[in-house]
Amino acid sequence: MRILAVDHGEKRIGLALSDPTGTLASPLTVIKHVSRLMDAAQVANLAAENEAELIIVGQSFDEDGEPNLAGRRAAKFAEALKEQTNIPVELFDESFSTQEARAAVIELGFSRKKRAGHHDSLAAVMILKSYIEAHRKS
């Protein structure tokens, strides 16, 4: 099953896609935020074009386990996305995905200049990787 993962941010939305078996995660693209409805339509179109059977939207939480501001925005985005597509949409805990993406880029040996900037699609890869690992059949 091909899965599309979404790292929803205020300015950009990172996307990652699994292989057809749902075991490998790769960066897909980054789209710039326009409006919730337009963003949802664009993500729905990309999901359909890439034959995704499931869309995962990363959601962050505060230390009490409640969705923080970004997590509430992600939940609203997921609701808008559900209205744009028949593909199932799930929220998934994305805690630390951006930090993991930064650490991965450093570990890969990118220079400070090359790793400067935004790692939205790589954060989406981290969300997708975590989802795949959490749902791997033993």
**CATH topology (fold) of 3-134:** Nucleotidyltransferase; domain 5 (3.30.420)
Residues 6+ apart with CB under 8 A from 25: 5, 16, 17, 18, 125, 128, 129, 132
Per-residue pLDDT of the chain (138 residues; tens, 9 = 90+): 999 999 999 999 999 999 999 999 999 999 999 999 999 999 999 999 999 999 999 999 988 989 999 999 999 999 999 999 999 999 999 865 555 555 555 555 555 555 444 467 888 998 999 999 888 864
The DSSP 8-state label assigned to residue 96 in this structure reads T
Instruction: Measure the CA–CA gap between 29 and 123, rounded to whole angstroms.
Output: 11
Contact 20, 37 (CB under 8 A): no
The pLDDT of residue 116: 46
Q: Please tell me the pTM assigned to this model.
A: 0.85
SS3 80: helix
The pLDDT of residue 113: 54
Instruction: Measure the CA–CA gap between 75 and 137, rounded to whole angstroms.
Output: 27
Average pLDDT of every residue of the chain: 86
